Amino acid sequence: MGEQSPVLEMTGIRKVFPGVVALDGVDFRMFPGEVHALMGENGAGKSTLIKTLTGVYEIDGGEITLGGKPVRISGPLQAQQAGISTVYQEVNLCTNLSIAENIFIGREPRRFGKIQWGRMRRRAAELLARLDLDLDVSAPLSTYSLAIQQMVAIARAIDVDARVLILDEPTSSLDTAEVEQLFRVMRRLKESGVAILFVSHFLDQIYEISDRLTILRNGQLISEHRVEELSQVQLVEKMIGKELAALEDVEDKAQSNRERAAGAKPLLEAEGLGRTGAIAPYNLTIHEGEVVGLAGLLGSGRTELARLLFGADKADQGEVRVDGKKVSLRDPQAAMKHRIAFSSENRRTEGIIGDLSVRENIILALQASRGWARPIPRKKQDEIVDKYIKALQIRPADPERPVRNLSGGNQQKVLLARWLITEPRLLIIDEPTRGIDVGAKAEIQKLVAELSTGGMAVLFVSAELEEVLRLSHKIAVLRDRRLVEELENSADVDADRIMQTIASGASS
């Protein structure tokens, strides 16, 4: 590969947003037939680099050459025409259109200018089959979960005959199986000479698939390496710019946590709770100070289960008891009265309010529960917000910046902060570590462990089994939108055991 010339070369890229230098003279290159990982903490500038490459942002300085020729890419359309195919970090599809259309829009098969719908649907189904998905391709995308949407975005990108394929955190909401599927496709593309730019905060995945990596920190280029040259620890240290200390002790904390929760009172009991078409009736008891993890495959109904407990969707059967008393969780407000909090997996449409500032986004839920007439005094707001900006390392640490302008990972932290400040008794977090960097992920896990020690119950949904295993006292396994088993998390429970349960669909 050494003697090959790079297919893409970016030199001295500079991008300035009002108040932030997002990229400061970054060099970046990619060779044909390699998977190149772009690494960095949340807000390091990865997505920005990608967006300057595809012309979403105009660069303030620097040069881009593609196949040896200098290019000026003025927008995503031009980027596509130049052979760059991209999956952006947040799913950027049109949820009002069908899956088939989302895959093919802009390059539909046509005859005499007329779109061939039948052919389009067939091809879409084939394409998804390659990713091991069997979906109704003519159904609107909005009816599918975020993970499916992510897969559709990937399907769209890999179908193009591209020289350069960019995947910005494609795996953040995917399960192991899907990730494997994706990697298979990536390897095949790689063999055919495509250069793949891959962003992920999962180090294992990086080490599994990439050949080379480039590290950014604070908008600056740190270094470029072949993957073999660098150990995980070294990589993380280069990313965060300091010695790695406290990442490992999360595990122990959670372990020690387990015993203590045992004598706790039941906080919330769901009995026969269900919603037709979404999730079969289930029983679930969550105790004070207990971390309950939900495991299952894509679309197994984890999100649906969680939403019922928050009243985000209305249950049409069964009942819920809080502290032994029957309650009605008909809407989020009702749930919040019982101090239940819920952070949605879909941060862009169900989480952040892009126009509002970081501060406003953080205090929103607390304010809502106090009612409009009792505003939180500005001083108190600033105090709380500052505290959580520090605690969760939200960057840039500017509370008045519109949250829309934050990097994906930092937006996620803002959402977490929103719910933490309400001091809930039960915190339901759906994919809370989606797109969060290693350091912050460890912080968040630590936080969850600490909070549960302090008596808070947590319902934890994550596509990352390891994470679920590490944090939970109890794991509920779902399959086909049905809670099939509850496992006490003990030494003999591991990923394999859970996968087995999922596969067999029966209890042991």
Partner 1 sequence: MSIVKKRLFWPSLILVVMLGINVFTSNQFLTIQDGHLFGTLIDILRGSAPLVLVSVGMTLVIATGGIDLSVGAVMAISGAVACLLIQDLGNQNSVASVLLIIGIAIAVALVLGLWNGTLVAVVGIQPIIATLILMVAGRGLAQLVTDGQIINVQSGPYSTLASGFFLSLPVAFLIAVAAVVLTILLTRRTALGLLLESVGGSPTASRLAGISARRITVMVYVVAGGFAGLAGLIYSADIKSADSISAGNLIELDAILAVVIGGTALIGGRFSIIGTVLGAVIIQTLRITVVALDIPDKANLLFKAVVVVALCLSQSPEFRAKVFGRFKRRPAVEKVAA
Partner 2 sequence: MTTMQTSPVVKGDGPQLNKRHRSFRPNTKHVPILATLGLLVAMYVSGLANYPRFDNPMVVVNLFRDNAVLLVVAVGMTFVILTGGIDLSVGAVISLTTVLTATLLKADWPPLVVLPAVLVLGALIGAGQGAVIHYFKVEPFIATLAGLFLARGLALFINEDSIPIRNDMWRELSDFRIPLADGVSTKPIAIVALLTLLIAAVVLAWTRFGRNVYAIGGNADSALLMGLPVGRTKIAVYTLSGFCAALGGVLFSINSTSGWAGQGNGIELDAIAACVIGGVLLTGGSGFVWGTLLGVLVTGLIRTLINFQGDLNVAWSQIIVGVLLFSFIVMQRLVTRKAR
Ligand X SMILES: Nc1ncnc2c1ncn2[C@@H]1O[C@H](COP(=O)(O)OP(=O)(O)OP(=O)(O)O)[C@@H](O)[C@H]1O
Q: Is 356 in the site for partner 1 (CB under 8 A)?
A: yes
Residue type, 413: K
Find the binder of partner 1 among 64, 158, 309, 364 (CB under 8 A). 364
Burial of 1 per CB tally in 10 Å (0-12, 13-18, 19+): exposed
Minimum Å gap between C-beta 426 and Mg ion is: 18
Alpha carbon 340 to chain centroid distance? 22
Residue 352 touches which member of partner 1, partner 2, Mg ion, none, C-beta under 5-8 Å by kind: partner 1
Residue type, 467: E
Alpha carbon 306 to chain centroid distance? 17
Q: Of 402-441, which residues contact partner 2 (CB under 8 A)?
A: none
φ/ψ (deg, to 5) at 62: 105, 180
Interface residue list for Mg ion (CB under 5 A): 46-47, 89, 303, 345, 407-408
| DSSP summary character for residue 347 | I
Site string for partner 1, 49-88 (x = CB under 8 A): -----------x----------------------------
Q: Of 111-130, which residues contact partner 2 (CB under 8 A)?
A: 113-115
Strand extents, DSSP E, 263-390: 266-275, 279-287, 291-296, 317-322, 325-327, 340-343
Minimum Å gap between C-beta 491 and partner 2 is: 14
Residue 473 touches which member of Mg ion, partner 2, partner 1, none, C-beta under 5-8 Å by kind: partner 2
Q: Of 144-173, which residues contact partner 2 (CB under 8 A)?
A: 156
Q: Is 342 in the site for partner 1 (CB under 8 A)?
A: yes
Burial of 296 per CB tally in 10 Å (0-12, 13-18, 19+): buried
- Give the tokens for residue 330: 């008909």
Please say whether the beta carbons of 47 and 408 come within 8 A. yes
The smaller minimum CB distance to ligand X, of residues 301 and 432, is found at 301
Q: CA 369, CA 333: separation in Å to the nearest integer? A: 7
Find the binder of partner 2 among 7, 148, 197, 476 (CB under 8 A). 476
The smaller minimum CB distance to partner 1, of residues 28 and 419, is found at 419
Q: CA 297, CA 36: separation in Å to the nearest integer? A: 28
Please say whether the beta carbons of 480 and 505 come within 8 A. yes
The smaller minimum CB distance to ligand X, of residues 186 and 476, is found at 476
The smaller minimum CB distance to ligand X, of residues 269 and 437, is found at 437
In a 3-state reduction of DSSP, which class is residue 90?
Answer: coil
The H-assigned helical ranges of 210-353 are 232-240, 249-260, 302-310, 332-337
φ/ψ (deg, to 5) at 88: -80, 170
Find the binder of partner 2 among 97, 368, 376, 447 (CB under 8 A). 97
Residue 312 touches which member of ligand X, partner 2, partner 1, none, C-beta under 5-8 Å by kind: partner 1
Q: Is 349 in the site for partner 1 (CB under 8 A)?
A: yes
Q: In the beta sheet, which residues pair with residue 114? A: 111
- Under the rule (CB under 6 A), what is the footprint of ligand X? 17, 20, 22, 40, 42-48, 89, 135, 144-148, 173, 296, 298-304, 345, 396, 405-410, 435, 437, 463
- Under the rule (CB under 8 A), what is the footprint of partner 1? 16, 18-19, 21, 60, 310, 312, 331-333, 336, 342, 344, 349-356, 360, 363-365, 367-376, 418
